[in-house]
Amino acid sequence: MTTSIIAFGGRPLTIKDVVEIANGKAQVALSDAPEFVEKVDAGVRFLNELLEQDGVIYGVTTGYGDSCTVSVPENLVNELPIHLTRFHGCGLGDTFDEQETRAILSTRLSSLAQGYSGVSWELLERLVVMLNENMLPLIPKEGSVGASGDLTPLSYIAGALIGERDVRFRDKVMNSAEAFELLGMPVHKLRPKEGLAIMNGTAVMT
């Protein structure tokens, strides 16, 4: 039974917060503090303006890593984050348990809720839904951790958001698209940079 609601974006997340969320003793929400709202809006606005100006944005209009000098045509910008999640979805071994997965999700949400990644409200809200509904991506324990971010394990969160990975939901393992459908929600459509924003972090290592 939940005993509290922990709001993201209004104050720093504490270890105690993560423990409560991981143990299912707290639900989560996004802060309605004006400064937080403006931070997220500003990040989205800045990214949109750069795209309209045909700006060069790493991982959005360019490739990744050593391919950063390769330009991505405008008509493929929206496909790039999808391919990034698929490319890194090569984890192995056992999956993290529910407690560990909830801790990973909460830590990643905390980072994205800082407002510096240019992610949309829709993405932040989907992560809130996944935590509150206990829709937990199956994340393999073996893969790249700390190598320019926890790219492989975090790709399973991104893949779950777009309906291409399995989740634990209502005591069953099912495709995430089916789980979202049971909640009356479509899968998330990644905006430019959102695949990179989800994956290029250290939530699993943390």
Strands 26-30 and 166-169, by their bridges, are: unpaired
DSSP state of 139: -
**Structural domains of the chain, with CATH:** 4-199 (1.10.275.10)
Q: Measured on CA atoms in the order 145, 148, 152, 155, is the torsion positive or negative?
A: positive
Q: Residues with catalytic annotation? A: 58
Return the pLDDT at 61: 80
Q: At what angle do helices 121-132 and 34-52 cross, to 10 degrees?
A: 130
Tell me which residues of the chain have a pLDDT lower than 50: 2
So what's the pLDDT on residue 24? 94
Q: 185: buried, middle or exposed (CB in 10 Å: 19+, 13-18, 0-12)?
A: middle
DSSP state of 62: B
Cα torsion 159, 161, 167, 172 to 10°: value is -140
